[in-house]
């Protein structure tokens, strides 16, 4: 059922160099000080990379805020012959939804894999939906990423680079900057725990992008060890749990992870989280006609969540090629919501966004690229579809 919590598998760098995007500020400062530079230079470099979004060695060398010692360090330590790289995910394509507010970025990783990042515009704010793995091992039957299977975990720098690309796209279009992040793209964040937390440390750092931790939501299919580890480490990020069923049999039919972490175990972990954080959990419920959308389903959900500070996001099923279910229509969705209200559970019927470009919840899918065995050159992806 995926890789163990905290395990990070990623392609090795051919020359052993480290990506500067993988480094937190304390790690970057340690590297510079070890090379004889003053700590102040770490702040300058970190800001140039994470706030100013410098993407190349040449851009750093030309940065007006760099003093000669830092400029010399950049010249000698980044790129050929140096210890570090500054890799950026290549934007293969950018597609704008007909809603005018949602765009999907197809991003190529260094080894040729591709992932998708979604930018959503709202009144006065923008949210980026990030991927944390290429593919996913959780196998949720209605999710396009789950249907494609697991390829590998992303590194911290590959997650951070998605934020950079999203921020750059917004700046280029003259829009307001990023306000919120949701880790609800490709992959299970808590099965790539260490890389995810390292990436979020970078994007929250006040010396860089300075995004507030309360505006970053981690979505999980219910990886209990990861939830408990967040509690033990007092991680400050809001949590969303994909539920979709209110009995073990009902849930496991849609979410295979339910067989590994039954509902009683998952609910206990959720109670520990809300007690420790004094916050609430967002529970995601994909409404599938005839499968989990009746008033009886809603009543069982209300009973299941009793006593847990929570908010339910109701998401009409988005179409994918690998699942033949259909979305619950408005009347049934409203009745479901009314039953939850009677049980004292607040809910929101989620607005559908980006469906026409397969950017909606559960629609992200980017097939693995092929590598030529002779030239080792990467070909175009076979397809990128829902």
Averaged pLDDT for residues 78-88: 94
Residues 24 and 162 reside in one and the same domain:
no
Q: How far apart are CA 293 and CA 209, in angstroms?
A: 40
pLDDT, residue 375, reads 28
Q: How far apart are CA 244 and CA 255, in angstroms?
A: 8
pLDDT at 320 over 80: no
User: Would you say residue 309 lies in a domain?
Assistant: yes
Residues 243 and 325 reside in one and the same domain:
yes
User: Would you say residue 378 lies in a domain?
Assistant: no
User: Would you say residue 369 lies in a domain?
Assistant: no
DSSP H helical segments within the chain, as ranges? 25-34, 40-50, 57-61, 68-77, 144-148, 156-172, 193-204, 224-232, 248-254, 263-277, 295-304, 330-342
User: Would you say residue 177 lies in a domain?
Assistant: yes
Give yes or no for a contact between 66 and 48, defined as CB atoms under 8 angstroms apart.
yes
pLDDT, residue 322, reads 72
Residues of the chain with pLDDT > 70, as a percent, come to 87
User: Would you say residue 250 lies in a domain?
Assistant: yes
Residues 143 and 215 reside in one and the same domain:
yes
Residues 271 and 307 reside in one and the same domain:
yes
Looking at the annotation, which residues are catalytic? 116, 361
Residues 234 and 256 reside in one and the same domain:
yes
At a CB cut-off of 8 Å and minimum separation 6, what does 30 contact?
none
Backbone angles phi, psi at 364, to 5 degrees: -70, 130
Q: How far apart are CA 224 and CA 130, in angstroms?
A: 21
Residues 81 and 96 reside in one and the same domain:
no
163-181 pLDDT, tens digit per residue, is: 999 999 999 888 778 999 9
> Residue 213: which domain range?
90-357
User: Would you say residue 274 lies in a domain?
Assistant: yes
Task: Look at the chain and report how many structural domains it folds into.
Answer: 2
User: Would you say residue 224 lies in a domain?
Assistant: yes
Average pLDDT, the chain: 87
Which of residues 329 and 67 earns the better pLDDT score?
A: 67
95-122 pLDDT, tens digit per residue, is: 888 888 889 899 999 999 999 999 998 8
Give yes or no for a contact between 242 and 222, defined as CB atoms under 8 angstroms apart.
yes
Residues 46 and 121 reside in one and the same domain:
no
- CA terminus-to-terminus distance, the chain: 23
Final residue belonging to a domain, choices 52, 85, 118: 85
pLDDT, residue 149, reads 85
Averaged pLDDT for residues 123-141: 91
Residues 205 and 240 reside in one and the same domain:
yes
CATH number for the domain harbouring residue 298: 3.20.20.70
CATH number for the domain harbouring residue 48: 1.10.150
pLDDT, residue 374, reads 27
Q: Give pTM, 2 decimals.
A: 0.87
**Which residues sit opposite 105 in a β-bridge?**
94, 117
User: Pick from 246, 234, 322, 215: which is nearest to 272 by CA?
Assistant: 234
Averaged pLDDT for residues 33-38: 98
**Which residues sit opposite 292 in a β-bridge?**
none
User: Would you say residue 370 lies in a domain?
Assistant: no
pLDDT, residue 10, reads 46
Final residue belonging to a domain, choices 85, 116, 136: 85
200-223 pLDDT, tens digit per residue, is: 999 999 999 999 999 999 999 999
Residues 155 and 196 reside in one and the same domain:
yes
Three-class SS of residue 348? strand
Structure-derived torsion over alpha carbons of residues 174, 178, 184, 186, reported in degrees to the nearest 10:
50
Final residue belonging to a domain, choices 61, 85, 109: 85
Question: What does R_g of the chain's alpha carbons equal in angstroms?
Answer: 22
pLDDT band at 147; cut points 50, 70, 90: confident
pLDDT, residue 100, reads 80
């Amino acid at each position: 059922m995926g890789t163990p919590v905290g395990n990070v598998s990623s392609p090795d760098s051919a020359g052993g160099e480290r990506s500067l995007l993988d480094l937190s500020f304390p790690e970057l400062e340690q590297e510079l000080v070890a090379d004889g530079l003053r700590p102040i230079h770490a702040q300058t470099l970190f800001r140039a990379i994470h706030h100013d979004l410098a993407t190349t060695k040449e851009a750093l060398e030309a940065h007006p805020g760099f003093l000669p010692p830092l400029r010399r360090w950049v010249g000698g330590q980044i790129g050929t012959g140096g210890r570090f790289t500054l890799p950026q995910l290549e934007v293969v394509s950018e597609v704008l939804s007909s809603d005018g507010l949602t765009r999907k970025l197809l991003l190529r990783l260094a080894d040729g894999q591709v992932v998708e990042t979604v930018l959503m515009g709202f009144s006065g704010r923008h949210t980026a939906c990030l991927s944390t793995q290429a593919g996913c091992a959780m196998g949720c039957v209605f999710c396009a990423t789950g249907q494609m299977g697991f390829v590998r975990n992303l590194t911290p720098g590959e997650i951070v680079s998605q934020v950079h690309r999203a921020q750059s796209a917004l700046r280029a279009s003259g829009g307001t900057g990023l306000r919120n992040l949701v880790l609800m793209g490709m992959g299970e964040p808590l099965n790539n725990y260490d890389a995810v937390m390292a990436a979020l440390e970078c994007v929250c750092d006040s010396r860089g992008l300075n995004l507030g931790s309360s505006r970053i939501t981690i979505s999980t299919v219910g990886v209990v060890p990861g939830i408990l580890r967040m509690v033990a480490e007092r991680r400050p990020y809001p949590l969303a749990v994909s539920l979709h069923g209110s009995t073990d049999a009902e849930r496991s039919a849609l979410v295979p992870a339910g067989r590994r972490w039954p509902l009683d175990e998952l609910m206990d972990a959720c109670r520990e989280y809300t007690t420790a954080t004094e916050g609430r959990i967002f529970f995601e419920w994909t409404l599938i006609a005839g499968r989990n959308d009746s008033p009886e389903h809603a009543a069982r959900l209300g009973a299941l969540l009793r006593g847990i500070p929570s908010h339910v996001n109701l998401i009409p099923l988005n179409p994918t090629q690998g699942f033949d279910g259909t979305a619950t229509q408005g009347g049934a969705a409203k009745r479901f919501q009314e039953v939850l209200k009677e049980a004292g559970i607040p809910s929101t019927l989620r607005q559908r966004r980006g469906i026409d470009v397969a950017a909606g919840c559960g629609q992200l899918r980017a097939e693995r690229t092929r590598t030529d065995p002779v030239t080792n050159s990467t070909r175009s992806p076979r397809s990128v579809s829902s």
